[in-house]
Amino acid sequence: MSICMFGLALRGADILRGAKTWLVFGGILLNCISCYEPLDTQTLCHPLSSECKGEDFDGDGVSNQVDDFPFDPNCAKNDVMNCGGCGIKCGMDSFCSIEKVCEKIREEVCNGKDDDGNLMVDENVEMADLQDGVCLGSLKVCLMGMAVMDYELMDDYQEVEDRCDGLDNDCDGKIEENISNCCGNGILEGMEECDDGNLIDTDQCSPSCQLARCGDGFVQVDVEECDDGNNVNNDSCRNNCQITPPCGVNCPAIEMILIQAGSFNMGSNSSSNEQPIHNVQIRSNFYVSKTEVTVGQYRDCVRAGQCTAPDDTANSTDCNWTSSVGSKETHPVNCVDWNQARAYARWIGGDLLTESQWEYVATAQGQIITYPWGNVEPICDIANYTYSCHEGTTPVCSKTGGNTTQGVCDMGGNVWEWVLDEYHSSYGGAPSDDIGWCSDRGCDSNTSVHRVNRGGSWSDDASSLRSAVRSDYSPNLRNPYVGFRVSYVVP
């Protein structure tokens, strides 16, 4: 292709994209920077000649006879403010000069064009939706559903990597396929514990896509009073994420045992409701009361007006509660229902154990053992079980031979213990972590469904003392065989 100017044949190659071209016409030096190359298919002549004036060389919708820049598709008639570079400007005579015509260079925008006339398309433009095939982004073009590199428009280029933005950044028809953890896209993937599609830090899913928990530094609305992200218990925010425990100056003295986080295989093949055996992650360290809550400890809550009285000997001679201080203040409180047990646990600033936490404690932090103390069959010296040992409860922690390795007492025998979880007839679909298995996150809403009991009691045979054994009762049931213990999480 050639252009005829002043009787000289100029090859199209003399007008190159990205080149700085100096042309001399009749002794006049013309400096053209970043010129647009006319279409190769055009046979060029003066645009106002009779054979060309009706054509539109540059395809900008303006015919040659009224187009001041007929060879520049970015410059329409008198449209110098929107022109992207320089063009071939033709007068009414036969003179055409190549000159820079724009007084104001446009800023680059994401439109697939060289807006600022520097021979690069969409450079320095923030990433846009490459699914639309519009923007280069990091110098990769998506055209008609295909990813291509435009080597003519750029000297340096790099592959566009997929990003966590829900877009097909690399134009391969897939979204975020090379990102292992894309928190905030609403899709549970990788190491995420949750992904609710937002980065709100006060809801149940943290901005890092981990389940919100006490000690993560974010205060959960309607759950925590504070969260300072440390495990100091005597500062302004206690390590159960409450400012002060509700019991205040009336808090009873309860000895707590630290249980370290870890993982273990929960369940057994001995009963259908203990199956399937499944691995559970205990995410955080937590404290568990060394003993079952005693009559005397529970009495403090009743005196404070925050707990209702258990059934007493008038209901059953095996109930330990008496209206005034009696002889069984150091025995486990029994004849309490699940709601009473939960109310007490919250009053001291803690909660009931979840079922997975309970079994983790009863297996001495995940050991493969049959009973809390090991694999030795129960005898009356290490556990209070079956009527032949005692006809009723014994003082807590009086059977120290049955303690766990960590020193937790009476995990097998004395009384069954309420735990937080709703009862399910098997572990199918059970959580893989230590969260309570309930129909709502806080295990609060469904107060009529049966709740789990663990540990066996003074009236049960040896098989009920296995660490994996599960039972259940209505949450409103009070009987002499069931009590509870408490816990709270270490941030």
In contact, 154 and 108? CB cutoff 8 Å: no
- Angle at the Cα of 143 (from 139 to 149), degrees rounded to 5? 35
481 and 380 share a domain?
yes
- pLDDT confidence tier of residue 229, bands split at 50, 70 and 90: confident
- Is the residue at 446 inside a domain? yes
φ/ψ of residue 145, rounded to 5: 80, 5
pLDDT digits (tens, 9 = 90+) for 11-23: 333 332 222 232 3
pLDDT digits (tens, 9 = 90+) for 139-171: 444 444 444 444 333 333 344 556 665 555 555
- Is the residue at 414 inside a domain? yes
289 and 427 share a domain?
yes
In contact, 264 and 292? CB cutoff 8 Å: no
| Structure-token match 């609060």, residue found | 444
Q: Which of 100, 133, 152 is the last residue of a domain?
A: 100
- Is the residue at 141 inside a domain? yes
In contact, 462 and 385? CB cutoff 8 Å: yes
* pTM, to two decimals: 0.56
Residue partners of 314: CB distance under 8 A and separation at least 6: none
- Measured CA to CA, the distance from residue 34 to residue 44 in angstroms comes to 20
65 and 156 share a domain?
no
Q: What CATH number does residue 478 fall under?
A: 3.90.1580.10
pLDDT digits (tens, 9 = 90+) for 343-384: 999 999 899 999 999 999 999 999 999 999 999 999 999 999
153 and 278 share a domain?
no
- Is the residue at 202 inside a domain? no
- Measured CA to CA, the distance from residue 84 to residue 179 in angstroms comes to 38
- Is the residue at 224 inside a domain? no
- pLDDT confidence tier of residue 247, bands split at 50, 70 and 90: confident
458 and 311 share a domain?
yes
Residue partners of 151: CB distance under 8 A and separation at least 6: 157
55 and 157 share a domain?
no
- Domains held by the chain: number: 3
The two structure tokens encoding residue 167: 């877009």
88 and 129 share a domain?
no
pLDDT value, residue 63: 75
DSSP letters, 209-263, are SSB--TTSS---TTT-S---SS--SSSSS-TTS-SS-TTGGG-----EEEE--EE
In contact, 417 and 267? CB cutoff 8 Å: no
257 and 147 share a domain?
no
Report in angstroms the alpha-carbon separations of 134 from 38, 117, 127.
23, 18, 10
How many C-alpha atoms does 13 have within 13 Å on its Cβ side? 0
482 and 375 share a domain?
yes
- Is the residue at 79 inside a domain? yes
Give the domain range for residue 73.
Answer: 2-100
- Is the residue at 273 inside a domain? yes
Please state whether beta strands 28-33 and 278-282 pair in parallel, antiparallel, or not at all (unpaired).
Answer: unpaired
Residue partners of 478: CB distance under 8 A and separation at least 6: 310, 311, 315, 335, 336, 337, 340
In contact, 183 and 207? CB cutoff 8 Å: yes
Task: Decide if pLDDT at 332 tops 50.
Answer: yes
- Is the residue at 394 inside a domain? yes
In contact, 11 and 44? CB cutoff 8 Å: no
